[in-house]
Amino acid sequence: MSTSSTGVLVLLGAPLGNPEDASPRVASELVRADVIAAEDTRRLQRLLRELGVSTSAAITSYFEGNESGRTEPLIEQLYDGKRVAVITDGGMPSVSDPGYRLVRAAIDAGFTVTAAPGASAVTTALALSGLPCDRFCFEGFAPRKDGERRRLFASLAEERRTMVFFESPRRVADVLRAMAAAFGGERSAALCRELTKTHEEIRRGGLGELAAGAESDPPRGEITLVVEGWGGPDPEDATPEALAAAVARLEAAGTDRKAAMKEVASRFGVPRREVYDSLIDRD
């Protein structure tokens, strides 16, 4: 048990599925903690059994639905000098999981915040995708509403970095169709499901192919999507139709027309007048 007069917040990287991926430090921090805030207390108890450890810590639930209300009581525990551990169902707290509010509040209050790193669905899927890993961006879950989702994908259509998304199996077919419409059906991608678990599966192919596969053979479980970044246009691709479509995507994402025209001219390496003419021809 902690005897420090100053509390410490510890973020624990939980295994994605295979308990053997939990580090020895994660196990020792679970034993050492005075308080454990768990996204699912039942899964925490199962993990403790799988790791063969027990804890005398006070265990409290800390999930999306009660995160705002539970943050202040946990901060009070830090003021009392307690060592507070946060663990989610898998991966690192705060990364599309509960934890950010508590981390921010603890930092603002001047407490030490540290982590016992663990498995990451983002980097695991990225490495398994076969797509470039040198530069990537994590976009989390796409918006549920169709219009917001289309605007997001339009704004990312010319993102050069490999993109990583989380998605629900119930929405993944719709999301892949929207991606294919925004990025092109031939854009390479990987659908990674149930990482490190018994039924782990990696589907690789074009977005159009993956969308069709998700409709005919719906994937189950937790899903991470990895999408190839935009490779940039070939000079021969600067057709009036392509220029006008690029402007339209930027406008759909909220960029005003003048700025969009400037951006497209720069990307395609053509005079701005050529972009303007493409819009006149379209209108």
Instruction: Quick: pLDDT tens for 110-146.
Output: 999 999 999 999 999 999 999 999 999 999 999 999 9
Which is nearest to 182 in space by CA: 139, 221, 223, 216? 139
The hierarchical CATH code for the domain 122-227 is 3.30.950.10
pLDDT value for 269? 79
Structure tokens at 197: 């678990």
pLDDT value for 5? 55
Q: pLDDT-derived band of residue 72, with 50, 70 and 90 as boundaries?
A: very high
Is the distance from CB of 104 to CB of 78 less than 8 angstroms?
A: no
Q: pLDDT-derived band of residue 235, with 50, 70 and 90 as boundaries?
A: low
pLDDT value for 1? 42
- Whole-angstrom distance, CA of residue 230 vs CA of residue 163: 10
Kindly report the average pLDDT of the chain as a whole number.
93
pLDDT value for 2? 43
- Whole-angstrom distance, CA of residue 70 vs CA of residue 58: 14
Domain 8-119 belongs to what topology?
Cobalt-precorrin-4 Transmethylase; domain 1 (3.40.1010)
